[in-house]
Structure 1
């Protein structure tokens, strides 16, 4: 567990210019606290201790202002900047090295049980403050979502989407280090 805290604190230190040290990150970052609670709750959820997992997630929300359903799947190095008002739904999937700003919602648009209702966020995505990503859609690797955008359709890799409803305003070519086979 100590390795996790140190790694998560380092993510915050690397991405937040206001954070001055690992101790600063460990002791004051809501992102570090929310991810620690999420990892514990997710483990309980996967071990069919769902009520206990949800209780732990609710405690995390009260402490951090960040609501992460324990059924969500989150990769490594998620950075939640500021965090207040962030909501991550039950069937959301988040890749590695993703950044979420405050008041981001990864929400569902259907109430059907047993189906994927929340978005998939691929690796290296940045989602601006107040953005709402809704439904079973995919935000492609390296994409950027502008502040307050409402996204209800897939966003291709390395694209930038803004507006209500969000529209792609810029597409970048795949980075040169990526090879298509």
Structure 2
């Protein structure tokens, strides 16, 4: 147990340059408190003491602002940076060396039974405010950009951005021109441009039809 606690503290130092001392990390890092609370709750959950497990998880949620269902499966060296608003669902599976930031949701998409939450393989990073929804797999060494909504499987060694999330880098090769924020996929703007193109076509056809009708009228006279 003490070896795992030390490993958790070392993970904070590895991931957060703001960490200055072990006592500071132990007393002030809510992400660390949430993980420790989860691990205690998970022990009770595995022993089918579901009520006690949920009570512990809700107490941890109250003090940290991070909600981790005690049934979730989380590997080693899991790091939650800042953490407020993080939600990790019941059937989530998280590998080793995974990092998530504040506002991340690893959730389901409805009332389906069974596996309904994401699986994050080793070395995955989920950036601020991202939503990963459904029984999907985020492949190892992949990254999900801030504010993205991911609804489909992500292959290993990929970077995903946008709403809905799209792979923009895979195995070090860019699938798009770059990763600047202004170039992130914008399906709403794409749809508006499509409608503008259709409207311009319709207006052009109406104009031609009016001109044709006007010529016919003059010919009749």
**If the length of structure 2 is used for normalisation, what is the TM-score?**
0.76
Shift of 1:76: 0.3
Higher helix share: 2
Query: What does residue 116 of structure 1 align with?
Result: 115
Is 1:35 the equivalent of 2:49?
no
Relative contact order (C-alpha < 8 Å, sep 6+): which is higher? 1
Shift of 1:19: 0.6
SS at 1:161 equivalent: strand
CA contact (8 A) 1:105 1:131 kept: yes
**Partners in 1 of 2:9 and 2:32 — Cα distance?**
6
Ranges in structure 2 where 5+ consecutive residues have no aligned partner: 173-221
SS at 1:85 equivalent: coil
Shift of 1:122: 0.2
- Alignment RMSD (CA, Å): 0.9
Query: What does residue 129 of structure 1 align with?
Result: 128
Aligned pairs for 1:17-166 (under 5 A) are: 17-113=17-113, 115-166=114-165
**Partners in 1 of 2:67 and 2:27 — Cα distance?**
19
Larger Rg: 2
CA contact (8 A) 1:149 1:161 kept: yes
SS at 1:20 equivalent: coil
Shift of 1:75: 0.3
**If the length of structure 1 is used for normalisation, what is the TM-score?**
0.93
SS at 2:54 equivalent: helix
| Paired residue total | 172
**Partners in 2 of 1:54 and 1:164 — Cα distance?**
32
Shift of 1:112: 2.4
